[in-house]
């Protein structure tokens, strides 16, 4: 029986980073992953690399270029003639990026002497794991000192609208359309709906989002969510809140979706429908009941603050456990687990995990929202600075949005930073670092920011928290 110091189940951003860090710490590591590409070949990197973070950002980039060429260049004095979109070429570029990065993970494994095994892992009790090889053949039993479960998550489905992979697709399907659907419906108005809805809207689809809740982007600060709803609607996303889908039937050129809202029963005819109503943890192949692995009320593997499960030497991280389903959260949990196995005191600071939604402008935040602070009865102050007061944003032709800082009224400590702003995914890093180091609003006020830069909106929002922004005229 092959034996290792560590077996990692799943090679997404949680599992593959765990494996590499463990190898750096001197452990012998086996990484077991069952993901296969369209050609049936093993591909590392999990959801994030293959059908998540990376391919969606590749399409967002392509569609942004297209939209800019079509509508945004004439004011720069640039004439482009007729601009055409070649969807198969865009998809091929995306697939090439995915293939390259997945091969990169395989190279990292080889460099770090991580043994990559393509198969599905099942817990056998103790620290043994049975592997059913993806290529077929006899199952193999592996032994190890510790196990990390990093099996990730899969799209949630809706009974009334089963995914058929052609007309009704999940998020992976929406990354692979071979043509721009004339009318695209998306069930849900969360992160995936906004990102992939933006892609296809920019390329010419009429996009309708059917969201069950009456509120929009419940996880974001209310002021940012409202600004985002207005801006996404202005851009052409048709966002229908309080819409509960009930079923579908074949339509003239696609399907007719029925839903109910405050005014009664409605129908919507679309060429394609994307189901984007959240994700569920991957636990079904793990042999949970046989070994007594505890799940929580949402079906996630139950873990404590250090990602320890109820079973000795078995840990779980990433999308398969509680907390936000984000790649960087998964990676940091894996690093914590193996560093603690190696005797270090590593912790994950769950209060400073950044969120980014890659719309245009981007939406990003870290820390508490106003609603959360009110619920905690915290005495806080607010600094808001509009992106329209930022010179770099004007030069970029992207002066829509706002940056907002929430700080403790007495101690001045920063409690949350929220933005809808160009390149917010990059600018938010300053906010995360400030909060990680326990900075005050005054620390940001006295930090020199390059001019002109988008980060100046953070500086100005910090000044605004004390009523003294410099470039603000109401």
Residue 197 in contact with ligand FAD, rule: CB under 6 A = no
Q: Which of 73, 213, 285, 288 binds ligand FAD (CB under 6 A)?
A: 285
Nearest residue to the partner ligand FAD, using Cβ: 152
- At closest approach, how far in Å is the CB of 301 from ligand FAD? 11
* Nearest CB to ligand FAD, comparing residues 327 and 462: 327
Contacting ligand FAD within 347-366 (CB under 6 A): none
Residue 325 in contact with ligand FAD, rule: CB under 6 A = yes
Length of the chain: 474
* Nearest CB to ligand FAD, comparing residues 181 and 383: 181
Residue 171 in contact with ligand FAD, rule: CB under 6 A = yes
- At closest approach, how far in Å is the CB of 56 from ligand NAD? 6
Binding site residues, ligand NAD, CB under 6 A: 158, 187-193, 195, 210-213, 245, 276-279, 324-326, 356-358
Contacting ligand FAD within 42-101 (CB under 6 A): 46-48, 52-53, 56
* Nearest CB to ligand FAD, comparing residues 318 and 383: 318
- At closest approach, how far in Å is the CB of 412 from ligand FAD? 30
- At closest approach, how far in Å is the CB of 53 from ligand NAD? 7
Residue 193 in contact with ligand FAD, rule: CB under 6 A = no
Q: Of residues 71, 313, 451, 459, which has the active-site annotation?
A: 451
449 is catalytic: no
Nearest residue to the partner ligand NAD, using Cβ: 190
Residue 14 in contact with ligand FAD, rule: CB under 6 A = yes
Strands 380-386, 402-408: pairing is antiparallel
- At closest approach, how far in Å is the CB of 401 from ligand FAD? 19
- Which amino acids are annotated catalytic? 451
């Amino acid at each position: 029986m092959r034996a290792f110091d560590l077996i990692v189940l799943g090679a997404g951003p949680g599992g593959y980073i765990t494996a590499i860090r463990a190898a750096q710490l001197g452990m012998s590591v086996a990484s077991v992953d069952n993901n296969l590409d369209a050609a049936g070949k093993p591909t590392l990197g999990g959801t994030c690399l293959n059908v998540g973070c990376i391919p969606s950002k590749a399409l967002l980039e392509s569609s942004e270029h297209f939209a800019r060429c079509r509508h945004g260049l004439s004011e720069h004095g640039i004439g482009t003639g007729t601009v055409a979109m070649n969807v198969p070429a865009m998809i091929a570029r995306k697939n090439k990026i995915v293939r390259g990065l997945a091969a990169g993970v395989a190279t990292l494994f080889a460099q770090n002497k991580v043994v990559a095994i393509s198969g599905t892992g099942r817990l056998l009790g103790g620290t043994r794991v049975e592997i059913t090889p993806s290529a077929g053949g006899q199952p193999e039993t592996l032994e190890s000192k510790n196990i990390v479960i990093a099996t990730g998550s899969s799209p949630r489905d809706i009974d009334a609208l089963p995914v058929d992979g052609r007309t009704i697709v999940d998020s992976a399907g929406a990354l692979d359309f071979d043509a721009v659907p004339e009318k695209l419906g998306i069930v849900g108005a969360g992160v995936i709906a906004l990102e992939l809805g933006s892609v296809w809207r920019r390329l010419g689809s009429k996009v309708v989002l059917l969201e069950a809740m009456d509120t929009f982007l419940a996880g974001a600060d209310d002021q940012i969510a409202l600004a985002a709803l207005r801006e996404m609607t202005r851009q052409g996303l048709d966002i229908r809140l309080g819409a509960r889908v009930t079923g579908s039937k074949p339509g003239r050129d696609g399907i007719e979706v029925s839903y109910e809202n405050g005014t009664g029963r409605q129908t919507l005819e679309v060429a394609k429908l994307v189901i984007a109503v959240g994700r569920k943890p991957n636990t079904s192949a793990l042999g949970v009941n046989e070994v007594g692995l505890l799940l929580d009320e949402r079906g996630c593997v139950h873990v404590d603050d250090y990602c320890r499960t109820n079973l000795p030497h078995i840990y779980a991280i990433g999308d398969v456990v509680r907390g936000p389903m984000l790649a960087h959260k998964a990676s940091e949990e894996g690093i914590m687990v193996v560093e603690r196995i190696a005797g270090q005191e590593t912790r994950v600071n769950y209060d400073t995990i950044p969120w980014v939604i890659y719309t245009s402008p981007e939406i990003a935040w870290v820390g508490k929202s106003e609603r959360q602070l009110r619920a905690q009865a915290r005495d806080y102050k607010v600094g808001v600075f509009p992106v329209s007061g930022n010179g770099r944003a004007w030069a970029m032709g992207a002066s829509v949005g706002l940056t907002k800082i929430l700080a403790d009224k007495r101690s001045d400590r920063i409690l949350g930073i929220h933005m809808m702003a160009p390149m917010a995914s990059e600018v938010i890093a300053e906010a995360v670092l400030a909060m990680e180091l326990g900075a005050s609003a005054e620390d940001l006020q006295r930090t020199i920011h390059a001019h002109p830069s988008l980060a100046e909106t953070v500086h100005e929002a910090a000044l605004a928290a004390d009523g003294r922004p410099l470039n603000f005229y109401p």
